Amino acid sequence: MKETVINLLNFSGLAWWVKISTVHPRCIYYLGLFLTSEEAKADETGYIGDLEGEGAQGIQVSIQQCKPVELTIYDELESDGEHTIVNPTFSPQS
């Protein structure tokens, strides 16, 4: 029953999400979805710990009611030694 309510809230844009932005890598993550802001807040620490464990830096967190289109938005110049890969998500040309 709870899952049905959460899906209905998500459809209407009223579900709660943990939004985490990192400076390095330059990403935005939407983690959720939650019925209440308190539930989202309770899981926030685990998400932060996971990102810190992966070496993420400049972590900023907010709890939001929204309906994200993408759950991970990535904008980082990557190099595999031979090529530079650019994801244009934040590009002024897009």
Tally of structural domains, the chain: 1
Q: How far apart are the C-alpha atoms of 94 and 70, rounded to whole Å?
A: 16
Residue 91, pLDDT score = 38
Q: What are phi and psi of 44, to 5 degrees?
A: -55, -45
Residue 3, pLDDT score = 82
Q: Which domain holds residue 7?
A: 2-90
Q: Count Cα neighbours of 68 within 13 Å in the Cβ-side half-sphere.
A: 18
Segment-wise mean pLDDT, segments of 10 residues, the chain, 94 residues: 78 89 95 93 95 96 94 71 46 38
Q: What is the 3-state secondary structure (H, E, C) of 40-91?
A: HHHHHHHHHHHHHHCCCECCEEEEEECCCCCCEEECCCEECCCCEECCHHHC
Residue 23, pLDDT score = 94
